[in-house]
Chain A
């Protein structure tokens, strides 16, 4: 399967600071990238969908000004958590889908564990 990387894998930051998470498709062009968050023992919740070169589509209840998404190229999307608070502590996972013809096939990154102190 295709490879998706995320960086950093873990980050600890102080309340009020901003954190940027990168998601890269390493061996294919990702026309669409998805950002999820997962709280302990809960399901993955889709935050937003981004298509290369256009604005992200946010799910209901997700603040677009707090979670800034940029998908500037076919291999890179970034999620910036602005003015982070302890309740933003979570596991953030990206996935990417490309042009393989199997439109629903998504490849997941290894996730980023964010802890806000």
Chain B
């Protein structure tokens, strides 16, 4: 079983739509959680950290459910520029290495 699993998509949505991505992780010792965004043939860029209390940054909301080992990302009012691959990332307690999911592709169309 992969350490971090995501639905690869693609999710094809119209502008203005709300879309949600899910991610599960297998190691209960995972400590920190992030969503990264990766554009085609580019490096990943940190979108937001994910906290148990949930956090929001503009149109983006991230949630963490430790009991279910589940992370989500909600994007409201999708823009064309949101088209990218969204990577779910976890770290484990005591380690500073990032473990990446394979990513979920989002395509926002006019």
Contact = CB atoms under 8 A, between A and B. Distances in A.
A104 B102 CA distance: 20
B41 A43 contact: no
A103 B96 contact: yes
B98 A46 contact: yes
B45 A43 contact: no
Interface residues of A, number: 23
Interface in A20-65: 32, 34, 41-46, 49
Interface string B84-95: 000100010000
Interface of B: 4, 8, 32, 41-46, 87, 91, 96-103
Given A42-B102, A43-B101, A111-B42, 18 more contacts: A34-B98, A41-B102, A43-B4, A43-B87, A43-B100, A44-B98, A45-B100, A46-B99, A49-B97, A91-B41, A93-B44, A95-B98, A104-B91, A104-B96, A106-B98, A108-B45, A111-B41, A113-B41
